[in-house]
Amino acid sequence: MHGTTISVHPPPSATAYPIGSTAPLSSPTPAPLRGQDLCVALLGLLALGGAAALGGSSAGPGLRLLPSVLLVELPALALTAPALIAVHQFLGLAAAPEQLAAGLGRALIHAGRVAGGLAIVVLFFAATTRLATPMLVVSLAAVGVFSSATACVELTAAERRAGTVVAPLFTLLLIGWLGLSWLVALRVGVDVASWVLGFGRLGA
């Protein structure tokens, strides 16, 4: 076969990004949170609900699906984050409140990005099947899993930056907070689902 030829030689400095290279883990001093990133994250959460709303069978519940992901993620975080920070400080652990808040903010940003990526998948199912709502529920769970994983990493990194070692008490606190967060998210999720289906009202 003739035509354009291509080099398949790895360039001399290929070792800078080879297969099996270890990507840098969390940097010692993470970049400060940017409002733009937070906005994009919120848009991602909104997009996930919006994608499912497009596949909604009727106008009312369909429209109410639009903010549903935001209404689960944000209240769950807003209800449990202050509790985490308060108990953390009460126990005399190392990290400062603002470091913990920044870590949670970064977890929210990643959750929004995951939601944005999954929104395209949900949109595909909304366009071709009647599975938009089940896919939304599965995606919401995936967003929860990834935000939990990221929060664990970020909070542990914040604690490690503040002190030399991570106390076992911190690990215990983290596990307790994760459990509480999932329970709160599930409770909020039930309320939001009732609202979307028209059987209840938010905050009731």
Partner 1 sequence: MSGQATTLTLLGVLLRQPEQLLASDDEAAERDRLALLTPKLLGITVMGAAIFGLVIGSYRGELQYLYAAIKTPALLLLPVLIGLPAIRAFFGACELEIAWSRLALAALIAVARTAVLAAACGPVLWLYLSLHPDYHRAILAMSACLIAVGGPGLWTLLRALPSGGRHRPLASFASLVVLGVLLAQSGWLLRPFVVRPRAEVDFLRPVEADVFSSLASTRRSANGDYRGWDARPGGLLGSRRDLAEPPEAQP
**Minimum CB distance to partner 1, residue 92 (Å):** 26
Residue 69 CB coordination number (10 Å): 30
State the nearest-atom distance from the C-beta of 53 to partner 1, in Å. Answer: 11
Contact call for residue 175 and partner 1 (CB under 8 A):
no
Q: Supply the minimum distance, in Å, between the C-beta of residue 185 and partner 1.
A: 17
CA 200: distance to chain centroid? 27
Q: Which two tokens stand for residue 157?
A: 């990194």
CB of 115 to partner 1, least distance (A): 8
Fill in the DSSP letter of residue 3: S
| 36 lies in the binding site for partner 1 (CB under 8 A) | no
Do 179 and 113 contact (CB within 8 A), yes or no? no
**Residue span 99-138 as binding mask against partner 1, x where in contact by CB under 8 A, dash where not:** -----------xx-xxxxxx-xx--xxxxxxxxx------
Binding mask 135-164 for partner 1 (x = CB under 8 A): -------x--xxx-xx--x-----------
* Residue 19 lies near partner 1 (rule: CB under 8 A): yes
CB of 193 vs partner 1, minimal distance in Å? 21
> Do residues 192 and 71 make contact, with C-beta atoms less than 8 angstroms apart?
yes
Only segment of 21-29, 68-76, 90-98, 191-199 that touches partner 1 (CB under 8 A): 21-29
DSSP 92-150: T-SS-HHHHHHHHHHHHHHHHHHHHHHHHHHHHHHHHSS-HHHHHHHHHHHHHHHHHHH
Number of other residues whose CB lies within 10 A of the CB of residue 104: 22
Of 24-32, 83-91, 169-177, 180-188, the window that binds partner 1 (rule: CB under 8 A) is 24-32
Structure tokens, 21: 């290279």
Considering the complex, state which of residue 68 and residue 150 has its C-beta at the smaller distance from partner 1. Answer: 150
| Interaction residues for partner 1, span 40-99 (CB under 8 A) | 54-55
In degrees, rounded to 5, the angle at the alpha carbon of residue 113 between the alpha carbons of residues 142 and 194 is: 50
Structure letter (DSSP) for residue 32: P
DSSP state of 16: G
Contact residues toward partner 1 (CB under 8 A) are 1-3, 5-14, 16-26, 54-55, 110-111, 113-118, 120-121, 124-132, 142, 145-147, 149-150, 153
